[in-house]
Chains A and B, each alone.
Chain A
Amino acid sequence: MSPAPPRRKAALNRRARLAIVCGLLFYIAGQAGFRLALAWRPEVGDREFGTKLANLRAKLAESPGRPLALMLGSSRVATGFRPEALPRLIGPDGREAIAFNFAQVGTGPQLAHLVLHRLLSQGVKPDWVFVEFWPPFWAVDGYLEGTVQSLNLAALDWPAARLIARYLPKPKQLYARWLPTQLAPIFASRFVLLSRLGGSWAPNFDPDRRLRNLDQTGWWAPLAAVTDADRSRLFEHYRSIYADRLAHFKSRPTPDRALRDLIALCRREGIKVAVVVLPEADDFRALYPADARQSIDTYLTRLAREVPVIDARDWISAQGFSDGHHLLPPGASTFTERLGREALAPLLRGESPQLLARPDCDALTR
């Protein structure tokens, strides 16, 4: 084969160079465009957060200018706080407040802080934030390490990644995982994207499982009812998970720091904040030994010096739960109605309700 003449060779060189450079530019543009889409429409890469955000925005758009009360927490809040069961919540200026359940499965204080941070960066600023206190999340330092594996890091910007990294024992590991997701966000979000094409493209991956039976106010009802046998089976399942953690309960520094950071963020932003201890069934509360209960009460009492603490641990009987700690729809309605009447309504009016009226706590505070 004779070599190409110089002009032809130059044209071939130019053509090949242009193809490579264009390929690179198109690739970068595609990834950058997708990254922007993730910021603009979070539900593309983070179905649970994004869908709740879209629903919340729709609610705010229906009645602009009304005060917003957000509840943050885990699946217990997601299933237990049912805004439509609330009485009318009137703010100090006479306007009716919007209440929204922004709980996400697996959210302890670290992720609650992240959720609030993300909401603020999306331009959603609540007037009140109610954050869950659940002892098992306070009993371990490392729960976040497992939970963070299921986060789509591509959907987090640098400040959000930095926020979550500070609660991990090895922040550099998170940065090492986060950086590639920013360079190739389509790769990092591929299962969420492929799941839209059907089960054959993303088998065993269902990002919408937490969106089924999710109402427009953020309340999630995965189960309508359970039989007594199922309740016992589920309780045993969770007992095997939590009993040990609760038997040796001691508030760990990392979740405590996360809660205090969240409170500090609320204060900086002029957001009022309160802590809610959600109901648990008698048999679940029996998993706490006496010294654990005392340790929790001491912690809550100290916390109550800084922010209002609403203790609803014994508000609902065992029949209201699916498993001793997740409320069923009727239980959620009962709890939410009472929470609204006894705590949220007075708090939003600017009054101080009797929140920590437990005898042992009173003794500690005297």
Chain B
Amino acid sequence: MLFCSQDYAIFLALVLGLYWALPWPRARVVLLLAASLYFYACWNRWLALLIAATSTMDYAVGLGLESWQSDRKRKALLATSLVANLGMLAAFKYANFFLGSLESALNACGAHASFPLLRVILPVGISFYTFEAVNYTVDVYRRRIPAERDLSHFLLFVTFFPHLVAGPIVRARDFLPQVRRVKRWSWPRAELGVSLLLMGLFKKMAIADRMAMYVDPVFAHPDAYGSYATWIATIAYAIQIYCDFSGYTDMALGAAHLLGYKLAPNFRMPYLSANVSEFWRRWHISLSTWLRDYLFIPLGGSRGSWWRTARNLLITMTLGGLWHGASWTFVVWGLLHGLLLIAHRGFQAICGPRLSRLLQTSGGTIVRVGLTFVAVCVGWVFFRATTFATASTMLRHLFVPADGLPTPIPTGAFWTLIGVVALAHAVGKVGGWGAVSSRLSSWAIGFGYAMALTIALLLAPNGGNVFIYFQF
């Protein structure tokens, strides 16, 4: 059930109607839990049972971690939970990847190896809910949060349908107190939810899915297209993945607000970042903060030597890349970002005060934003390409002029949508939509909502594409 589908609109309307009609908080939690499991079961009912089962185990682990005093026992319990959660993730997502890589490596060394492929379905959202479960058990282990005593509350934390399949990765300490709180209908909050839903729908249907028309044919046959089409495809992919993922997140946040819940924002106009470090503070924030708190800092963070910090950054970003998908192209994407982060730290260290002041000027900032965007786009080539051959052809055509086919379709729509994205960023930069809308009448705002929905429906492509991050 896609967020931008008719089925989801009916589902959400029914859930909202029932939810606010129920006067009992407990019944609302049960309703949301049932709706969330139904939402997942629409895709695969057996894997909905799997989430319920692993979450119940994590719930029991949390209780054990809180009640047991022995460090050794607590460590063993934490290890059990981590092995179970990460093991499940590895089995479903990475088993074939590791077997395939091992086979290739052995064959390259002259040995004849042939491993069978495991026939497994990748559970949608497994990377997201695994990380949520891990943050809960680790935080309970660290005694930063108390263990949740109510199983239905805990199950709702993991399975809450707005964030279940593609995040944002919620923290137990943010979400569980909200489950306990009694919700009251609030029109301003409902309006916020509606505006987020519409913004997400617009980003996904009007922009991301349209950009895909410039991307997919070029990445499918990169040899056939010239440099211009390759640049258009690369920029279009940067816009597509941003509008696709942030659009999904907006819709998740909007649905949550309509139900009286607040999820953490995941994006803050990342393409306005002036360096890669800033990019990761603006892009997929829930993942980057998770990686920081549960991987980078436990590895030692930036407390040690320059080399140690660099090593930690590389490990964190490479594993972050692997988290996205079981492919070496994702690993290289993560590694590239790790190297860019290290390079940025190195540059900061050697950058003199004069150059630093120059880079802080408007012109310098534009150059930095531009360079960061190009670096991120190069990274997206590895992220989008399914093979290294594709990535290398794309990169060659990006930086070495090449003849070939023009763009798959005329670029009128591309430039118009680029203009829309640029305008939205400009408005966001000068004070945000909140500042603009506070000066408008309710009629004008309502008209804007109707227009956003109408244009999103008007520009929706045939069939609609699955959200990119659903595969992770």
Contacts and interface: CB of A to CB of B under 8 A. Distances in A.
B190 A20 contact: yes
A226 B443 CA distance: 60
B412 interface: yes
A27 B449 CA distance: 8
A200 B418 CA distance: 14
Given A16-B188, A200-B410, A203-B409, A23 B194 contact: yes
Interface stretch (B363-371, B384-392, B456-464): B456-464
A134 to B, nearest CB: 30
Nearest to B456: A187
Interface string A170-207: 00000000001000101100110110011111010000
A180 B413 CA distance: 27
Nearest to A18: B442
Contacts of B408: 203
A201 B413 contact: yes
A40 to B, nearest CB: 19
B458 A194 contact: yes
A20 B194 contact: yes
Contacts of A14: 187
A111 to B, nearest CB: 23
B410 A187 contact: no
B359 interface: no
B414 A22 contact: no
B187 to A, nearest CB: 4
B445 A23 contact: yes
B458 A186 contact: yes
A12 B434 CA distance: 13
A199 B409 CA distance: 7
Nearest to B462: A191
Given A16-B187, A199-B409, A200-B412, A30 B446 contact: no
Contact of A19 (B186, B411, B445): B445
Q: How big is the B interface, by class? A: 20 to 34
A187 B457 contact: yes
B187 A20 contact: yes
Interface in B425-472: 442-443, 445-451, 453-454, 457-460, 462
B411 A200 contact: yes
A21 interface: yes
B15 interface: no
Nearest to A199: B410
B445 A190 contact: no
Contacts of A19: 191, 442, 445-446, 449
A34 to B, nearest CB: 9
B442 A15 contact: yes
Contact of A201 (B6, B412, B447): B412
B409 A17 contact: no
Contacts of A122: none
A13 B409 CA distance: 46
Given A23-B449, A30-B454, A194-B459, A18 B410 contact: no
B412 A26 contact: no
Contact of A26 (B186, B188, B194, B447): B447
Interface in B1-44: 6
Contacts of A21: 446
Contacts of A198: 410, 412-413
Chain A interface helix/strand/loop/mixed: helix
A186 B454 contact: yes
A25 interface: yes
A187 B458 contact: yes
B219 to A, nearest CB: 17
B450 A200 contact: no
A272 to B, nearest CB: 43
Nearest to A9: B188
Contacts of B412: 197-201
Contacts of A24: 446, 450
A13 B451 CA distance: 22
A187 B190 CA distance: 25
B213 interface: yes
A200 B409 contact: yes
A13 B188 contact: yes
B305 to A, nearest CB: 42
A18, A21, A180, A199: residue with the most chain B Cβ atoms closer than 10 Å: A18
Contacts of A29: 450
A4 to B, nearest CB: 9
Given A12-B188, A190-B457, A199-B409, A22 B462 contact: no
B236 to A, nearest CB: 12
Nearest to B189: A16
Contacts of B451: 26
Contacts of A180: 6
Contacts of A199: 409-410, 412
Contacts of B411: 200
A298 to B, nearest CB: 44
Given A13-B187, A186-B454, A190-B457, A20 B409 contact: no
B457 A22 contact: no
A21 B194 CA distance: 11
A19 B413 CA distance: 30
Contacts of B446: 18-26
B458 A190 contact: yes
20 contacts: A13-B188, A14-B187, A15-B188, A15-B442, A22-B443, A22-B446, A26-B450, A184-B457, A186-B454, A186-B458, A187-B458, A191-B462, A194-B459, A197-B412, A197-B413, A199-B412, A200-B411, A200-B412, A200-B413, A203-B409
Enumerate the 5 nearest inter-chain pairs by beta-carbon distance, A residue then B residue, closest first: A22-B446, A23-B449, A26-B450, A18-B442, A16-B191
Given A13-B186, A27-B453, A198-B413, 10 more contacts: A16-B187, A21-B446, A22-B449, A22-B450, A24-B450, A187-B457, A187-B460, A198-B412, A199-B409, A199-B412
